[in-house]
Amino acid sequence: MKKNVYIGDIFKNEEVAQDCFLMSVALHSSFPDPQPGQFVMLRISGISEPFLARPFSIYSFQRERAFCRIDLLYQVVGKGTQILAGLIKATQVEIIGPLGNGFDIPQSYVNLVLIAGGMGVAPLSFLAEDLQKKACSASSKVYIYLGAKNSEALIGVDKIKKISCTAAICTDDGSKGEKGFVTQLFQKDLKNYKPENTSIFACGPKEMLKALARILRGTKYSCQVSLEERMACGVGACLGCAVPVKQAKSAIGYKRVCADGPVFDINEIVWK
Ligand SMILES: Cc1cc2nc3c(=O)[nH]c(=O)nc-3n(C[C@H](O)[C@H](O)[C@H](O)COP(=O)(O)OP(=O)(O)OC[C@H]3O[C@@H](n4cnc5c(N)ncnc54)[C@H](O)[C@@H]3O)c2cc1C
Ligand code: FES
């Protein structure tokens, strides 16, 4: 399996909320333009601990004159992200990517509805930014539902506010925006969106995506979800990230989140 490995230099790695960091990496300009929903595998150059690279969605991507800049938004949850949080400017990292399929951006939909829970804001705000750049939003309206467990964990609001879209915010404990889960906030508005001209995109914790699958079950809405599974190789070789998918005649098969995803049709996944 061919890997596109790029060596990048960190030029920013700041805590933007509690245990949440924004890392900007300068990469050689030969790094291909990523699609929203694609991800990278990131490793610190020259160290063997942690041995495996970690997957992160692309939060933002810019081409500068002599290099390109990739932004990653990450939550410290374990050993690897703890080490990343301590990295200083000019540290070299290895970036493999862009990987995965990314979101399929429809041309003819009127309502583009983005639903993000927690760190799910990373790929979805990149998608919103891209929709704006490509002027898809000229003929369509972009609606963003952003939820987190509390106000401290609500990340990316400033970036969303710069995008021309209608944004609705909620927290589980009501400390910012409406009180409740982001799927409940979306469900209240569902009647305003006609299935035939609405395309839904979602990313967040598995429980949130499961709840969304329940809400949309039996309806005609088109919905793409970006999944986050633990990954080892990130390029389709180890099968470590396989998820159950529906096949013909009620059979169940498996697809790799890294190589076949991370974006899937919500109805394809067996939610268990
Ligand atoms: C395609 C993709 C995109 C991702 N994008 C982002 C992103 O933009 N920002 C971000 O903060 N995180 C993202 N993640 C999750 C991120 O990769 C993990 O949080 C990270 O690998 C944890 O590494 P660690 O060494 O700190 O934790 P570990 O020590 O490996 O694990 C610590 C804890 O986190 C859990 N965990 C590890 N990986 C995952 C995972 N993939 N999903 C759910 N739980 C996990 C473990 O079960 C364990 O409980 C993404 C994952 C995938 C697959
Ligand atoms: S992580 Fe190895 S196949 Fe997906």
CATH number of the domain encompassing residue 231: 2.10.240.10
24 with 84, same domain: the answer is yes
b/e burial code for range 205-243 (CB count within 10 A of at least 16 → b): ebebbbbbbebbeeeebbbbbbbbeebbbbbeeeeebbb
Give the closest residue to 225 by CA, choosing from 107, 124, 109: 124
Q: With a 6 A CB cut-off, is 54 part of the ligand 2 pocket?
A: no
- In this structure, are strands 222-226 and 198-203 parallel, antiparallel, or unpaired? parallel
Do 112 and 144 contact (CB within 8 A), yes or no? no
**Confidence tier at 50 by pLDDT (50, 70, 90):** low
Q: With a 6 A CB cut-off, is 231 part of the ligand 1 pocket?
A: yes
The residue whose CA is least distant from atom 39 of ligand 1 is 230
Helix, strand and coil percent figures for the chain, each rounded to 5: 25, 35, 40
Last residue of a domain, one of 99, 134, 167: 99
C-alpha R_g of the chain: 18
Q: With a 6 A CB cut-off, is 145 part of the ligand 1 pocket?
A: no
pLDDT, tens digit, 9 for 90 and up, residues 168-212 = 999 999 999 999 999 999 999 999 999 999 999 999 999 999 999
70 with 151, same domain: the answer is no
Q: With a 6 A CB cut-off, is 242 part of the ligand 2 pocket?
A: no
Q: Phi and psi (nearest 5°) for 70?
A: -115, 135
Q: Which ligand is nearest to the CA of 227?
A: 1
90 with 181, same domain: the answer is no
Q: Per-residue pLDDT averaged across 152-180, rounded?
A: 91
User: 145 or 47: whose pLDDT is higher?
Assistant: 145
Residue 156: predicted pLDDT: 87
SS3 assignment, position 148: strand
**Confidence tier at 165 by pLDDT (50, 70, 90):** confident
Domain annotation covers residue 220 = no
91 with 117, same domain: the answer is no
> Which structural domain range is residue 79 located in?
5-99
Q: Ligand 2 center to residue 261 CA distance, Å? A: 11
**Confidence tier at 135 by pLDDT (50, 70, 90):** low
Q: Given the CA of residue 232, which atom of ligand 2 is nearest to it?
A: 1
Q: With a 6 A CB cut-off, is 256 part of the ligand 1 pocket?
A: no
pLDDT, tens digit, 9 for 90 and up, residues 59-114 = 999 999 899 999 999 999 999 999 999 999 989 999 999 999 999 988 777 899 99
Q: Given the CA of residue 258, which atom of ligand 2 is nearest to it?
A: 4
Q: Phi and psi (nearest 5°) for 197?
A: -125, 25
Domain annotation covers residue 256 = yes
Q: Per-residue pLDDT averaged across 119-129, rounded?
A: 95
Residue 266: predicted pLDDT: 97
Q: How many whole angstroms separate alpha carbon 145 and alpha carbon 148?
A: 10
Q: What is the CATH number of the domain that holds 180?
A: 3.40.50.80
Per-residue pLDDT at 28 exceeds 80: yes
69 with 144, same domain: the answer is no
116 with 207, same domain: the answer is yes
Q: Per-residue pLDDT averaged across 140-166, rounded?
A: 90
Residue 138: predicted pLDDT: 62
Domain annotation covers residue 66 = yes
Q: Per-residue pLDDT averaged across 239-264, rounded?
A: 94
The residue whose CA is least distant from atom 14 of ligand 1 is 56
115 with 208, same domain: the answer is yes
Residue 215: predicted pLDDT: 97
Q: With a 6 A CB cut-off, is 131 part of the ligand 2 pocket?
A: no
Q: How many whole angstroms separate alpha carbon 26 and alpha carbon 48?
A: 22
Question: Per DSSP, what are the bridge partners of residue 178?
Answer: 170
Mean pLDDT (the chain) is 92
Sign of CA dihedral 153, 165, 97, 203: positive
Residue 132: predicted pLDDT: 81
The string of DSSP codes covering 98-110 is EES------SS-S
Q: With a 6 A CB cut-off, is 229 part of the ligand 1 pocket?
A: yes
Q: With a 6 A CB cut-off, is 270 part of the ligand 2 pocket?
A: no
pTM above 0.85, yes or no: yes
191 with 130, same domain: the answer is yes
Q: How many whole angstroms separate alpha carbon 49 and alpha carbon 211?
A: 36
Residue 2: predicted pLDDT: 58
The residue whose CA is least distant from atom 53 of ligand 1 is 228
Q: Ligand 1 center to residue 239 CA distance, Å? A: 17
- Residue 61 CB contacts under 8 Å (≥ 6 apart), including other chains: 33, 34, 68, 69, 70, 71, 126
Domain annotation covers residue 161 = yes
Q: Per-residue pLDDT averaged across 213-233, rounded?
A: 95
Q: With a 6 A CB cut-off, is 16 part of the ligand 1 pocket?
A: no
Both tokens of residue 172? 């589980």
Last residue of a domain, one of 56, 73, 99: 99
Per-residue pLDDT at 46 exceeds 80: no
199 with 259, same domain: the answer is no
Q: Per-residue pLDDT averaged across 119-131, rounded?
A: 94
Query: How many distinct structural domains can be found in the chain?
Result: 3
Domain annotation covers residue 217 = no
Q: Which ligand is nearest to the CA of 99?
A: 1
Q: Per-residue pLDDT averaged across 226-248, rounded?
A: 92
Domain annotation covers residue 91 = yes
Q: Given the CA of residue 231, which atom of ligand 1 is nearest to it?
A: 53
Both tokens of residue 53? 């690279």
User: 199 or 4: whose pLDDT is higher?
Assistant: 199
Q: Ligand 1 center to residue 20 CA distance, Å? A: 13
Q: With a 6 A CB cut-off, is 53 part of the ligand 1 pocket?
A: no
